Amino acid sequence: MPQQASAATALRPATTEHAPRPRTASVSLDGIGDVVDAGRSSGYAHLSERRLPTLGQLVSAARGAAVSLRRPTLWPTRRGRWQPAPRSARRHVSGRFRVTAVALEPNSFVPGPVRRSDRPHNLEVLHLVSGRAHLITSGADGQMRSAAELAVGRTRVVGDSSAAGQGHHYLVNTGDEVAVLVRVTA
């Protein structure tokens, strides 16, 4: 008998009543300041919007400038020094970018830029127009940290070497012909 009683309770018919659904509360953004204030200017100067260019914009600017520098007649005449790129190369760059170029003889080098204190957010890219070159990063003690080959037609983003301990960047022409590079800085 005890077995029959447990079987009867196990086969109890299901009830057709449904549990009441909880009522959904209406969503209000009144208490969420970041969402409500999105897009409005803030009264705090340190929260003001700073429009920094993106890396994509710098890469696009470097590629545009490099396309016009493929003609050897536009290459910098002074070798081994960064100088403003020709006007035809700067025309391909839209925005407030600084476009410079350098021509390096074989087995020569040029130091990279020194970080300026008045520009805390310094973005920089290098684009090899022709030749063969390596980007060398050294530490404050003069020891070489890394050497990266720059490929023709490729753009390299240059990090801040002074952030990790006052290092330096150098561009070295490792080929048998003149190397021409474009640098775009924001």
- The C-alpha atoms of residue 84 and residue 63 are separated, in whole angstroms, by 16
Q: What is the mean pLDDT of residues 140-168?
A: 77
Q: What is the pLDDT of residue 172?
A: 92
The pLDDT of residue 177: 92
Q: What is the signed CA dihedral for 112, 147, 163, 142, rounded to 10 degrees? A: -80
Task: List the Cα angle 129/158/163 in 5-degree steps.
Answer: 160
Q: Pseudo-torsion of CA 151, 107, 184, 146, nearest 10°?
A: 70
pTM for the whole structure = 0.66
Query: pLDDT band at 72, cuts 50/70/90?
Result: confident
Q: Are 49 and 37 in contact (CB under 8 A)?
A: no
Q: Confidence band (pLDDT; 50, 70, 90) for 163?
A: low
Predicted confidence at residue 56, as pLDDT, reads 87
Instruction: Scan for tokens 């240059």, then name that residue.
Output: 158
Q: How far is CA 56 from CA 6, 43, 62, 63, 156, in A?
A: 72, 31, 10, 11, 11
Name residue, tokens 């299901």.
Answer: 14
Chain mean pLDDT for the chain: 76
pLDDT at 118 over 60: no
The answer to whether the beta carbons of residues 92 and 127 sit under 8 Å apart is no
Whether pLDDT at 147 is above 80: yes
Q: Span 131-145, mean pLDDT?
A: 87
For 37-47, what is the mean pLDDT?
62
Instruction: Give percent of the chain above pLDDT 70.
Output: 63
pLDDT at residue number 9: 54
* Residues facing residue 125 across a β-bridge: 157, 184
Say how far apart CA 98 and CA 88 lie, in whole Å.
14
